[in-house]
Structure 1
Amino acid sequence: MDILVIGGSVFVGRALAETALARGHSVTTFNRGRTGTDVPGTENVRGDRTDKDDLARLAEGRTWDAVVDVCGFSPRVVGDAVRALDGHADTYAFISSISAYPDWPGARVDENSPRFPCPPDAEAGDGSYGALKAGCERAVETGFGGRVLVVQPGLILGPHENVGRLPWWLRRMAASGRVLAPGAPDRPMQVIDVRDLAAFVLDAVEAGKTGRYLAGGTPDNTTVGEFLGACVQAAGSDAELVWVDDQFLLDHDVAPWTELPLWAPLTDDLAGVWLSDSAKAAAEGMTCRPVPETVADTWAWYEAAGLPAELPSYATHAGSQGIDPDKERRILAAWDAR
């Protein structure tokens, strides 16, 4: 197949390009050449997706079997790409997010859950991250004349992660000492390796599938304890995990999800964070490797790349990751003295 990846140099797009090449497909990437290096073996077209002239130049005289769009955040901008590429590809696959559902993360969701009512021509500032993702989905669904595939991942981990959640934990474990471990070690999580996500997307494209698929990974495919333990092991650390309960952390103003990345306390607004229903995707071939393998491979990439102590964040909604070391020490001392 001839596949066009809009993006293709960072995290999800990179995994898609690498996986497609490994399967023998021809891959063209379209990006500005600013946020990452292109995968060797891909054809690279430089351009800005917000520039209609660049989109027209990309499409002129070209056709592909499929477009995979991994970096759409503005419905209007996604709609421009859809219109430029309509008739130039058989399938348009849009990588969206579970955040397109307003009930998540407060409740379990599936593909039949209501999405945010964001229109397909909304601008970047017209709503939250999740609402805009829903609008981007509609821009593809209403604007592309061929097959439309929408894949909605949950929490994605793996090599080349550019948000910094798993890399922060790995860096923290490598620093050793007593580590603030949030909640309970037996609390289940649901994550997907970026390479397994790429494989599922390409399987669906190759099979000509259409519609929406939640792709959050296998339910309960790890626990907080296994995840953090795998980080300790991968980093070759003697770090000591000190488990501190949710309420104590909340009482000490620790921000869920960001100060302790991936920490989701059992509060009403986060009750469904690890409960996305990926049964449809699983029934049609989505598989997930063991999470300790993802953790080990991410550490191997991180070390080989010689990355700095702080990772840049290219995802505008992600924010900074990690707790201040002094604050961590103060909370541990208060926990000891409780």
Structure 2
Amino acid sequence: MRIPVLGGTQFVGRAIVDDALRTGAEVTLFGRGRTGTELFPGVPRLIGDRETGDYTALRHGSWDAVVDVSGYVPRHVGQAMDALEDRAGRYLFVSSHAVYQRAGVGPGATEDAPRRPPVRHTEQLSEDTYGPLKVACEDDVVARYGARATVVRPGKVAGPHDAQDTFTYWVRRAARGGRVALPADPGQPVQVIDARDLARLVVQLLADGRPGAFHAVGPDEPTTLGGLIETCARAAGSEIEIVPVSSEGRPPLFPLVRPDRSTQQRSPARARVAGLPATPLAVTAADVLAWDRGRGEPPLQVGYTPEEERAVLARHDSGALDG
């Protein structure tokens, strides 16, 4: 199978390329050529830039399927499809759970849950526009490719090489042991998907030629935020005590804390039937811990710093913050 991957050198795209190569696929990378230049020696690279609309390199050659990891606004997707014309057998678009409406969604929601209205008047990505822009991208892919369109909607993706730090924060924090300040309900449901499982689903969907939309969520067994932190501690061989503290003064995007519980309880049933694996959460945590330590544990962009956490726990103990 011949596959160009649009955006194949960072995290999710990197995992997809790894899995595709493992299956013997002929992969071509498309991107700006600025990141991951040391990755995948021998794999052909086409140079282009979604921001400037330069998809010229895709105007030559033909492929069995294309994987689009880099489309965030309709212009990106439209220009890629225009360049490919009819020379790609299937278009697989990696979307997001942000496409869904947040109100009135119960646990076990499927891919048929109501989506948010599409947005096309802006390319500014924000909490309000990210999901609706992805909806517009999905719609354009389906309109152009019909039964040859596949949409994968991941939840929170975890694994080595993740630059967003959200899962890494809890892995690193649990490994330190001791009292862990949690400015949220430990019983909050949480869903994370190992990037390698997501990649396996993508490649299997292409191999089988499956159309439609698929949730990429995990782990296999439902878990809570408190349970995830405890699993991270077990993977690290550390002892922890989770201390629920007030959310007052909490950073607005605290790792894996979500006010809408139903958004963390979506059904993976359709994707499981299609071949989505279920890497145990403890394995993902152990692999992230090893990767994080191997890169020297650089400062994280989310969560409490150790100093901030000590101050929060001290205020909690003094009664100033009640969990």
TM-score, length-normalised on structure 2?
0.87
1:289 to 258, 279, 283: 279
Please give the per-residue CA displacement for 1:22-63, whole angstroms capped at 9, x wherever unaligned.
1111111101122334333422222212344x3122322x01
Is the aligned partner of 1:77 residue 2:82?
no
Contact (CA 8 Å) 1:230, 1:296: kept in 2 or not?
Answer: no
User: Could you tell me which residue of structure 2 aligns to residue 189 of structure 1?
Assistant: 190
> Measured at CA, do residues 272 and 166 of structure 1 come closer, stay the same or move farther in structure 2, by a change above 3 Å?
same
TM-superposed CA distance for 1:271, in Å, is 2.5
Q: Where in structure 2 are the equivalents of 1:112-151 lying within 5 Å? A: 112-119=112-119, 121-125=120-124, 128-144=129-145, 147-151=148-152
User: Could you tell me which residue of structure 1 aligns to residue 180 of structure 2?
Assistant: 179
TM-score, length-normalised on structure 1?
0.84
Please give the per-residue CA displacement for 1:259-305, whole angstroms capped at 9, x wherever unaligned.
3x1123xxxx512131112222223332211100001111122233x
Instruction: Compute the RMSD of aligned alpha carbons.
Output: 2.5
Q: Where in structure 2 are the equivalents of 1:3-42 lying within 5 Å? A: 3-37=3-37, 38-42=39-43
Contact (CA 8 Å) 1:89, 1:146: kept in 2 or not?
Answer: no
Please give the per-residue CA displacement for 1:189-247, whole angstroms capped at 9, x wherever unaligned.
32211101111111111101111112222564333334212333444545x33321xxx
Aligned residue type for 1:4:
P
TM-superposed CA distance for 1:17, in Å, is 0.1
User: Could you tell me which residue of structure 1 aligns to residue 47 of structure 2?
Assistant: 46
Is the aligned partner of 1:204 residue 2:200?
no
User: Could you tell me which residue of structure 1 aligns to residue 94 of structure 2?
Assistant: 95
Partners of 2:296 and 2:137 lie apart in 1 by: 32
Aligned residue type for 2:303:
G
Partners of 1:83 and 1:237 lie apart in 2 by: 53
Partners of 1:282 and 1:218 lie apart in 2 by: 11
Aligned residue type for 1:94:
F
Please give the per-residue CA displacement for 1:68-103, whole angstroms capped at 9, x wherever unaligned.
001211112211111211311100000000110122
Contact (CA 8 Å) 1:189, 1:220: kept in 2 or not?
Answer: no
Aligned residue type for 2:250:
V
Counterpart secondary structure, 1:150: strand
Partners of 1:137 and 1:170 lie apart in 2 by: 33
Counterpart secondary structure, 1:65: coil
Contact (CA 8 Å) 2:67, 2:91: kept in 1 or not?
Answer: yes
Aligned residue type for 1:272:
S
Aligned residue type for 2:317:
D
- Structure 2 gaps, min length 5: none
Contact (CA 8 Å) 1:190, 1:218: kept in 2 or not?
Answer: yes
Counterpart secondary structure, 1:64: coil
Contact (CA 8 Å) 1:14, 1:39: kept in 2 or not?
Answer: no
Give the count of matched residue pairs.
315
Contact (CA 8 Å) 1:116, 1:134: kept in 2 or not?
Answer: yes
2:249 to 250, 253, 260: 253
User: Could you tell me which residue of structure 1 aligns to residue 308 of structure 2?
Assistant: 327
Contact (CA 8 Å) 1:215, 1:281: kept in 2 or not?
Answer: yes
Partners of 1:234 and 1:279 lie apart in 2 by: 27
> Measured at CA, do residues 79 and 36 of structure 1 come closer, stay the same or move farther in structure 2, by a change above 3 Å?
same
User: Could you tell me which residue of structure 2 aligns to residue 273 of structure 1?
Assistant: 263
Contact (CA 8 Å) 1:28, 1:44: kept in 2 or not?
Answer: yes
Contact (CA 8 Å) 1:2, 1:26: kept in 2 or not?
Answer: yes
